[in-house]
Amino acid sequence: MSAIITFIIVFGVIVTVHEFGHFYMAKRSGILVREFAIGMGPKLVNFKKNGTTYTLRLLPLGGYVRMAGTQDDDDEIKPGTPASIAINDQNVVERINISKKNPYVNDLPVQIVKADLVDKLEIVVYENGDESQEKTYHVDHDATIVEEDGTEVLIAPRDVQFQSASLLNRILTNFAGPFNNMILSIVAYLLVAFMLGGIPEAHTDTNQVNIAPDSAIQKAGVKQNDRILEVNGKKTSTYNQVQKAVASNKKKQVELVVKHKDNVRQIKVTPQKQKNSDKKLIGISPKTTVDRSFGAKLKYGFTQPFVIVATIIGILGNMFTTGFDLNQFGGPVAIYSLTSQVSTQGIISIISFIGMLSINLGFMNLLPIPALDGGKLLLNFVEGIRGKPISEEKEGIVNLIGVAILVTLMIAVTWNDIQRFFIH
């Protein structure tokens, strides 16, 4: 249960912060944010403030910001749709209700013939079931529409739509989500640094090593900060030399010459297979000391996210030389598996996990893949070079291809994760 709760909180925080970036910048740019949703699926509760409807949805995974005029925002009302309308004293429509869940007893029942809620702001209807005469009403610029699921949002006139904002503001709005993830990651790692009270520093210029608990090398009797003088007959004076010699070992056991204080002895270590991995390790890492200075803590918070980004870039770069490997990716199943481990290790580990996931989400979203923020930014830059936007049809096709690629990849990654974490 603790793993499930932690997973919901971690995922919720990261996605909400990401979406709030888009939300904030869209508001600043004059783009109408029709809905800010936390969670997915059926609506549980909602309230409206400053033109935006805030909803909490059933499935506590993900969330979204629905901006007027974007691909996922559709206000088209099909001819023949039964509805009811609220009309003010000036005979102007203030609310259109196409939901059967939210009846308004004082509204006028109509059947919609056609509606233009973008440019003309007009609606043509048959009133009270009388199809002998059409009647046209003007729709208020700030009118609302109650959608089929009962969510009431503002209509989306052309002047407040995403494409009506300047190119710079659209670029900033698309970039704001990943940017917020970067900020969250920095804040998380700053918290970790100050909660720990200091930053461990690895020393690879010595053959003294750190020993992992319950590792193969600990079981062989090697103590913390012992020196490894030789690996399989090769002299080693630095950690990098030790690590390289161990990694190149082809035997069942690794033969080490170890110095503990003034005592030198030979031992044999059998590498252990790691959980959820095919790698066999003996359980060493570089000797570490702790830097408790304010500057070290501050530096860690600002640099650790970019260390992770560099690692991701290295992994993606290796795919061009070593080939595509699904094991380098992780979906919701992998995140849940990692969360279940982290949830037992305390609040500092959870905050660190949030920092790691947040920068991962932010960076991966910036990849120039259609349907991701990076793909949208690429289209923005293409528009800037061409001097005019790509047609909606072409943009829709590009996004459809991107969605198909992402869905296919997600299915493959999820199945691979299930096999890695639960079947093997």
Give the tokens for residue 245.
């010699």
Burial bucket for residue 196 (CB in 10 Å: 0-12, 13-18, 19+): middle
Give the tokens for residue 113.
């013939």
Neighbours of 378 (CB within 10 A): 18
Q: Which residues pair with 92 in a beta bridge?
A: 138
Q: With contact defined as beta carbons under 8 Å apart, do 326 and 408 qualify?
A: no
β-strand 108-116 against 92-97: which pairing, if any?
A: unpaired
Spatial neighbors of 360 by CB under 8 A, at least 6 apart, are 308, 312
Q: With contact defined as beta carbons under 8 Å apart, do 302 and 186 qualify?
A: yes
294 phi, psi to nearest 5 deg: -60, -40
- What sign does the dihedral 59-60-62-66 (CA atoms) show? positive
Neighbours of 311 (CB within 10 A): 11
Q: Which helix (H) or strand (E) holds 303?
A: helix 294-322
Helix 332-342 × helix 347-365 angle, to 10°: 160
CA distance linking residue 157 with residue 141, whole number of Å: 7
- Pick from 202, 198, 200: which is nearest to 286 by CA? 202
CA distance linking residue 364 with residue 369, whole number of Å: 9
Percent helix, strand and coil across the chain, each to the nearest 5: 45, 30, 30
- Pick from 286, 279, 235: which is nearest to 256 by CA? 235
Write down the catalytic residue from 19, 147, 152, 395: 19
Q: With contact defined as beta carbons under 8 Å apart, do 233 and 266 qualify?
A: no
Active site residue 19: yes
- Catalytic positions: 19
